Amino acid sequence: MTPKHLLLIDDDRELVELLSELLQSEGFAISCAFDGEQGLQQIQQQQFDIILLDIMMPKVNGLDVLRALGGRHQTPILMLTAKGDDTDRVLGLELGADDYLAKPYNPNELLARIRAILRRVDIINNKNKQLNIELNQVQIKGASREVLCQQQQVVLTGTEYEILHLLMSSPDSIISKEQISEQILGRPLAAFDRSIDMHLSNIRRKLQQFADDEKIKTIRGVGYVFISGDQ
């Protein structure tokens, strides 16, 4: 089996060396970049299965990397943030990061998070590969992972696509934040965690470029519903 290829973008060379040794011993292929500029060059040159992105870096920081990618990537991005730095965390999710892990973190926790993300990507890709859905002027093409709204292409990140697919697979039914976190992020929903809210906000904003009506309804304190339009 071809090893999963991971790109680690972090200016802490000692940490990168330690993590590279750990991850290689676990069967991963590792590429490294020590600032955002190097990271963007590598992302443009080759395909990765997952990207670990530090926020605080010289030259081009992690948020600028996300801005440059413009929410168009399908590769999962796990951002590494300073503990308690909620501002960068929220902004990173708005800019297209898939999830976050606060520093300092236990290497085993990082490894578990990486495996969970890759596992859910494999499961979702296999399950949804050929499944097409069309509801309320929104169309999902499973094989190509394209999303259209009123026949206009909607550019989503991998995680945004998977959340929309989950909601549209059970239209007019409440999908809880806990379900979304477990099935899409591959982890339990933590207290005060805004990741799911930010991903849903991004999806809504992108759909509203082409349709003014509400496609996804928030059931406060419970979850979200994709409106089929048949009611």
pLDDT tens readout for residues 120-159: 777 766 765 567 899 999 999 887 888 999 999 999 988 8
Contact 158, 76 (CB under 8 A): yes
| Single-letter amino acid code for the residue at 179 | Q
Q: Is a pLDDT exceeding 70 seen at residue 230? A: no
| Residue 97 DSSP one-character state | -
How far is residue 106's CA from residue 120's CA, in Å, rounded to a whole number?
21
pLDDT value at residue 216: 95
pLDDT value at residue 127: 64
Look at residues 189, 32, 26, 164 and name the one whose alpha carbon lies nearest to residue 99.
189
pLDDT value at residue 225: 96
Q: Which two tokens stand for residue 11?
A: 């200016």
**Which tens digit of pLDDT belongs to each residue from 183-219?**
888 888 887 788 899 999 999 999 999 988 899 999 9
Q: Is a pLDDT exceeding 80 seen at residue 16? A: yes
pLDDT value at residue 128: 55
How far is residue 179's CA from residue 166's CA, in Å, rounded to a whole number?
10
| Residues of the chain above pLDDT 70, percent | 95
pLDDT value at residue 116: 86
Q: CA 230 → CA 134, 137, 138, 218, distances in Å?
A: 12, 11, 13, 18
pLDDT value at residue 13: 92
Helix spans in 53-150 (H) = 62-69, 86-94, 107-128
| Single-letter amino acid code for the residue at 149 | C
Average pLDDT for 82-94: 80
Average per-residue pLDDT for the chain: 88
CB contact set of 222 (below 8 Å; sequence gap of 6+): 174, 176
How far is residue 216's CA from residue 156's CA, in Å, rounded to a whole number?
15
Q: Is a pLDDT exceeding 80 seen at residue 75? A: yes
Q: Is a pLDDT exceeding 60 seen at residue 231? A: no
Q: Is a pLDDT exceeding 90 seen at residue 85? A: no
Look at residues 44, 47, 66, 45 and name the one whose alpha carbon lies nearest to residue 57.
66
Query: Could you tell me the pTM of the whole model?
Result: 0.79
Q: CA 184 → CA 10, 34, 212, 217, distances in Å?
A: 25, 29, 27, 19
How far is the first Cα of the chain from the last one, in angstroms, to the nearest whole number?
47
**Which tens digit of pLDDT belongs to each residue from 37-69?**
999 999 999 999 999 999 988 888 999 999 999
Could you give the 3-state DSSP secondary structure of residue 102? strand
CB contact set of 188 (below 8 Å; sequence gap of 6+): 178, 181, 182
